[in-house]
Amino acid sequence: MVEQWKSRSGFILATIGAAVGLGNIWRFAYVAGENGGGVFLITYLIFVILIGLPLVIAELSIGRRGASDTVTAFEVAGDGTHWRVVGWIMVGGALLILSYYSVIAGWAVRYFVGALSGDLWQDAGEKYGAYFEGFIANDFEPLLWQALILIVSGVIVAGGIQKGIERINLVLMPLLGLIVLGLAVFSLTLPGSGAGVRFLLAPDWSAFGRPSLYLAALGQAFFSLGLGMAVFVTYGGYLSASTRIPGAAATVAAGDTLFAIVAGLAIFPAVFALGGDPAAGPRLAFVVFPQILLQLPGGTIIGPVFFFLLSAAALTSMISLLEVAVACATHRMGLARNQVAWVIVGIVLVLGVPSALSYGVLAEVKLLGQPILDNIDQAVSNFVLPLGGLLVAVLVGWRIERSRALADADFRDTWLGSTWLWSIRVLAPITIAVILLRSLGVM
């Protein structure tokens, strides 16, 4: 018998925990910064509502129907055809994401420890850029911190659904919500913060003409929600029939989006108030932001709080990715959860070596002029996840019979259900396909 969530709120917090992660803080801030702030935010919001939310509902409904793991769920939904293979591919994809995601999570833990002990402020002085580059270029340090946070994730996943995953999220997620709100309030009270607010919330309409905006916003919507790699299929597998899926999915999508906006309001006003560069790319959270904190009264207290937020948010997302694979290995191969979890943590560590060393020993290995980790991140978010979403849409929209698809997702035959199904059948697949083909230069 597969374990189930203890409570509805436990399920919702765990699912928000999966969605809220590095994507909402580190990635959202730098992608929004690179893509013009307000214009990016609007495009991103439209994709979350029209494509993201319907797909969260679709993933959860396949998962609950299967009432087990991803591979089983795809098998049940696809009615004994080769859809099972899609399940296995997603397990592989989840491990691939985990392999580089945990590297950045490791950086966050390192910065948390450094900010807490004061090393970060002393050693770096005014030269955060060099400090950061020195750390990520080290031969083994990034691996060490990556291993640490992977082991913590392993302990929690080995603990099971209720006693591991649900419990940690019940504690961490409300706490993280309070922290991010507090940081935003702090940042918004700085003199000169208004420019940062305007950057994030007031769109410069001319930027809508840039095609790269749409791919970046779509990729960010998928990554931030955690779509396309069967995380919601997996978490839906532990869901009871009494929880209505659309409401839960809307809560999760709204929570994830709100979290990203509030995190943006913690970062950009401070960056603008002190003249930092909002388009600094992946270094925004690790270089620009700490440098700004050091110039502020109380900055050395805010620093550890910010990096705790980043580390803990990453942890609850890593747990979800790990669970996708652990659930499959446990149910399909009949292995014990607490052993499987460790084998998979080991596999991820090995898979993660190229990413962990991609700014050090392997810095010369470049594809398209970028280090390995940047390539994996972009390929995954902008192509692999949307493709995963496309497959889910085809499965739920076209393979499963209409009335069953609606019933599995807790929709009755009302306009709301028809709208959802129309997005899954038509809008989502076409939008995803057009954006992907255009960015590949095919269209």
Binding residues vs ligand TRP (CB under 6 A) = 18-19, 21-24, 97, 223-224, 226, 228-229, 231, 317, 320-321, 385
DSSP 49-82: IIIIHHHHHHHHHHHHHHTS-HHHHHHHHTTSST
Q: Residue 328 to residues 121, 151, 207, 366, 414: CA-CA distances in angstroms?
A: 44, 19, 44, 34, 35
Closer residue to ligand TRP in complex, CB, 128/259: 259
Torsion of CA 301, 307, 313, 314, to 10 degrees: -170
**Least Å from the CB of residue 202 to ligand TRP:** 25
**Least Å from the CB of residue 228 to ligand TRP:** 6
Closer residue to ligand TRP in complex, CB, 18/348: 18
Closer residue to ligand TRP in complex, CB, 102/320: 320
**Least Å from the CB of residue 326 to ligand TRP:** 14
Q: Residue 393 to residues 19, 54, 244, 440: CA-CA distances in angstroms?
A: 19, 9, 20, 21
**Is 93 in a helix, a strand, or coil?**
helix
Closer residue to ligand TRP in complex, CB, 228/282: 228
Q: Where are the alpha helices (DSSP H) in 274-394?
A: 289-294, 299-333, 337-356, 372-379, 385-394
Closer residue to ligand TRP in complex, CB, 15/439: 15
Closer residue to ligand TRP in complex, CB, 17/417: 17
142, 373 Cβ separation under 8 angstroms: no
**Least Å from the CB of residue 324 to ligand TRP:** 8
Closer residue to ligand TRP in complex, CB, 51/274: 51
One-letter amino acid at 202 equals: A
228, 389 Cβ separation under 8 angstroms: yes
**Least Å from the CB of residue 26 to ligand TRP:** 8
**Least Å from the CB of residue 300 to ligand TRP:** 26
**Least Å from the CB of residue 23 to ligand TRP:** 2
Cα angle: 188, vertex 193, 199; to 5 degrees? 110
Closer residue to ligand TRP in complex, CB, 19/344: 19
Name the one residue in this structure whose structure tokens are 């499987």.
Answer: 340
Closer residue to ligand TRP in complex, CB, 115/322: 322
**Least Å from the CB of residue 54 to ligand TRP:** 16
d(CA 158, CA 337): 6
d(CA 71, CA 332): 8
d(CA 132, CA 106): 13
18, 177 Cβ separation under 8 angstroms: no
Closer residue to ligand TRP in complex, CB, 282/360: 282
**Least Å from the CB of residue 404 to ligand TRP:** 26
Neighbours of 90 (CB within 10 A): 26
**Least Å from the CB of residue 224 to ligand TRP:** 4
One-letter amino acid at 438 equals: R
d(CA 186, CA 177): 14
d(CA 367, CA 435): 22
